[in-house]
Amino acid sequence: MKVIVRGYPLPVKFLRPSSSITVATSGLAIVDYENNAGIALTPTITNDTTSTTLASAVSKRATSITCTTSLSVSSSYELTTTNGKVSHIYVIGVSGATAELRDEIPYNVNSGAVIKGLNASCNVSLTAAYTSSVCLFRWTLSDGRVYEEEGQVVNRLQIIPVTSEDLYRRWPRLRGEVMRGQQSQQFEPQIDQVWDGLRDRLWGSGYILDHCKRPSVWRDYLFAELALMLTEAGYNLDATNDRVTFRDSMERKRDAEWNSVLSQNNLWFDDDDDDRIEAGEEGSVLRIYE
């Protein structure tokens, strides 16, 4: 789910289904869910027109590639092999012309494979006077298809209270696991994924994560979710080597933290951040418009 901060311009990205399909320059409409009306914004869309080739062959399950020109971090690309196979890749790190990928390459790929950009992007800024908590992004593509995405509108954007170094301190075995497997030593993409998952879960329960006064209260919840994700990915975080028992304990920890945090009082900002629920304000629990 996309997040927009009132009165502050933020970049918004859309993943095109194919490099041959684009979003028109004015192909984004933003709709107010509450009032069912269009918002007077005219963001200019930029389609990523990157086109490069694979400089050297890569084997199945590779997590990095070298191209003839460099790619961009946090961007998606279409990889087309010399025999016509097509897959999408997501770049999480760049060093010169070498890109580190979030996911493994599913098959052997020869040099000369073509890589093209898939993102469409723009800057969106809703005025501070916009009062609804939710909006709808409506993207119109060059082939006539229309995609819609729900977005949260918030007063602030919280910093994630967990980093890769926090993971290493919580589970010292993790550093050894990384060095033996020669995986990336940074887990920010996984942390971002778990944070976004928490945002979606809270939204479904009627809360806005970024309106939490003390985001640090979610640290233990995030640690438990990250432990489950990393265990599923093959990392061994527990000295007992009993992954089943460790996973069960992390699931119980996650659920306990969820219930504990949501039972706390005075945890959420209200609409105008003054801690007083006044006439017309939603308070800590949102109205989710249908």
Give this prediction's pTM: 0.74
**Hey, which bits of 33-113 come out as E strands?**
37-38, 46-47, 51-53, 64-66, 75-80, 86-95, 98-101
The tokens describing 282, both together, are 């939603």
Give the residue from 17, 42, 284 showing the smallest Cα distance to 141.
17
Burial 207-226 (b: 16+ CB within 10 A, else e): bbbbbbeebebbebbbbbbb
The residues near 152 (Cβ < 8 Å, ≥ 6 apart) are: 1, 2, 3, 4, 133, 134, 199, 203, 208, 210
- Please list the residues that pair with 159 across neighbouring strands: none
2-47+120-154, what's its fold? Immunoglobulin-like (2.60.40)
Phi/psi of residue 283, each to 5°? 75, -150
The tokens describing 203, both together, are 């939204």
pLDDT of residue 180: 58
pLDDT of residue 23: 94
Local confidence pLDDT in tens for the 290 residues of the chain:
788 888 888 888 999 999 999 998 888 888 887 776 777 777 889 999 999 999 999 999 898 999 999 999 889 999 999 999 999 999 988 889 999 898 889 999 999 999 999 999 998 888 777 777 888 889 999 999 999 888 888 888 889 999 999 999 999 888 877 755 545 567 888 899 899 999 999 998 889 999 999 999 999 999 999 999 998 888 888 878 888 899 999 999 999 999 999 999 889 886 555 444 444 444 444 433 32
Note whether 39 and 31 are within 8 A (CB). yes
CA-CA distance, 290 to 287, in Å (whole number)?
9
pLDDT of residue 288: 36
Element (H, E) at 30: strand 23-32
Note whether 100 and 87 are within 8 A (CB). no
Q: CA distances (Å), 15 to each of 135, 138, 149, 206, in order?
A: 19, 13, 11, 27
Give the residue from 265, 155, 251 showing the smallest Cα distance to 214.
265
pLDDT of residue 5: 86
pLDDT of residue 278: 44
Note whether 149 and 207 are within 8 A (CB). no
CA-CA distance, 135 to 35, in Å (whole number)?
10
pLDDT of residue 87: 95
Sign of the torsion angle spanned by Cα atoms 6, 8, 9, 10 = negative
